[in-house]
Amino acid sequence: MIPKDSDCIFCKIVSGEIPCAKVYESENVFAFLDIAPVCPGHALVVTKGHYPTLLDIPEEMGAELTAALKAVGNAVIKATGAHGLNLMQNNHEAAGQLVHHAHFHLIPRFTDDGLELWPQAPYENNDEMTRLAADIAAMSG
């Protein structure tokens, strides 16, 4: 039984209740163009089921999702003539997630397109990096 949320815009897109520019479909995965693209060809790959974030998606969907990301990613590059591709994935509002149905952004990139995706800075002290690495390793293993 595929989970659905009757208030979710992506569930409505997957079911056909809201129209979309569909580009791909497999048993559990669906893809369409973002209505407000970073640049033309920006696609969204979603699970057909309603899982709020990536962290909620069943692990057994991993191979099918990876296949969809590769197929749509390669097609976006070919169709747009892009030189590269960003895979973006937001989880929870603090990370910029507006639609609470797990999805991946596939964004075509061009040499010198000037898009700055995120600022970075080195750790201020190495102890913090070592402590965080130990904590994350312990909690993910």
How far is it between the farthest Cα atoms of the chain? Answer: 52
Residues 6+ apart with CB under 8 A from 88: 104, 105, 107, 117
Nearest-angstrom CA–CA distance, 91 and 115: 21
Site string for ligand 5GP, 75-104 (x = CB under 6 A): ---------------x-----xxxx-----
CB of 92 to Zn ion, least distance (A): 15
CB 30 to ligand 5GP: min, Å: 11
Report angle CA 76, 69, 132 to the nearest 5 degrees.
Answer: 120
Run of H or E residues at 66: helix 62-80
CB of 101 to Zn ion, least distance (A): 3
Site for Zn ion contains 10 (CB under 5 A): yes
List active site positions. Answer: 103
Closer CB to Zn ion, residue 25 or residue 135? 25
Answer yes or no whether residue 36 interacts with ligand 5GP by CB under 6 A.
yes
Q: What share of the chain is helix, strand, coil (3-state, %, to 5)?
A: 35, 20, 45
Among 42, 48, 50, 103, which residue interacts with Zn ion (rule: CB under 5 A)?
50
Task: Note the residues at the interface with ligand 5GP (CB under 6 A).
Answer: 9, 18, 20, 32-36, 90, 96-99
